[in-house]
Every structure is written in structure tokens, then in C-alpha cells.
Amino acid sequence: MREFDKIAIQEISKEDMLMIIQALEYTGNNTNIDAFLKLRDNIVKELSSLAESTEEEFVEYLNKSCQIETAP
């Protein structure tokens, strides 16, 4: 097996990414394990940078766009 230091997420749905972000936040807040919150923050920071937005704007965008797509 080839070794690597980083993994790129090229195609993951917005819904899946939002779920990952929310799961990390929920787990970090309910277990008091800061590593989960730091990972969540790092993911949001990287993705918001790619989207050329603030972290708050990016999370708000995910929330709004996922609500629209999942609404009946």
C-alpha cells in the first residue's frame, strides 16, 4: 500500500459535508473532547477558504442549500 499524509475530498455532497460538520460539533460538545471541535473548525476553515467566504457564511450556505434540497 502506498503511504500518504493527506486525503483530498473531491466530490462529496453538500448534505454529507454538513452532516460531518454537525456530527463533529455535536460529538465535541457532548464528550468534551476538543479534537472533534478542532477537526470541525479545520474542515470549515479550509472549505470556506476554497469558497472565498467567511467560515460563518460557508456554514450558513450549507445549511440553507441543504434545507432547500431536502424540503418536500
- Residue 68 pLDDT > 60: no
pLDDT digits (tens, 9 = 90+) for 15-47: 999 999 999 999 999 999 999 999 999 999 999
- Please count the structural domains in the chain: 1
On whether residue 53 sits in a domain, the answer given is yes
48 vs 7, 30, 32, 39, 58, CA distance in Å?
18, 25, 25, 14, 5
pTM, entire model: 0.79
On whether residue 1 sits in a domain, the answer given is no
- Residue 72 pLDDT > 80: no
- Residue 7 pLDDT > 60: yes
Are the beta carbons of 9 and 46 closer than 8 angstroms? Answer: no
On whether residue 7 sits in a domain, the answer given is no
- Residue 9 pLDDT > 80: no
Provide the domain limits for residue 37. Answer: 14-70
Strands (E), 1-72: none
